[in-house]
Amino acid sequence: MSYQDLMTIEELADYLRVTKRTVYDWLKKEKIPALKIVGQWRFQKDKIDEWLEAALVGAKP
């Protein structure tokens, strides 16, 4: 893992095209892979991509 691969809440919201409020809701419900570093949430892009892929596979009929 590289520190350049870590996204902030704002960057993740832009990446996923959702609001920051949605990201905070997912964090509260522990629905999204995240790291808390010195009191700030960070997200690994590769883990987010895996999470998205799993959600897409699970959503297929």
pLDDT of residue 60: 57
Q: What is the pTM of this model?
A: 0.84
Q: What is the DSSP string of the chain?
A: --GGGEE-HHHHHHHHT--HHHHHHHHHTT-S--EEETTEEEEEHHHHHHHHHHHHHHH--
User: In tens digits, what is the pLDDT along the chain, a chain of 61 residues?
Assistant: 556 779 999 999 999 999 999 999 999 999 999 999 999 999 999 999 999 999 888 765 5
CB-based contact 9:24 (threshold 8 Å): yes
Tokens standing for residue 41: 């949430």
In angstroms, how far is the first alpha carbon of the chain from the final one? 34
Which CATH number is 3-59's, of 1.10.287, 1.20.120, 3.30.420, 1.10.10?
1.10.10
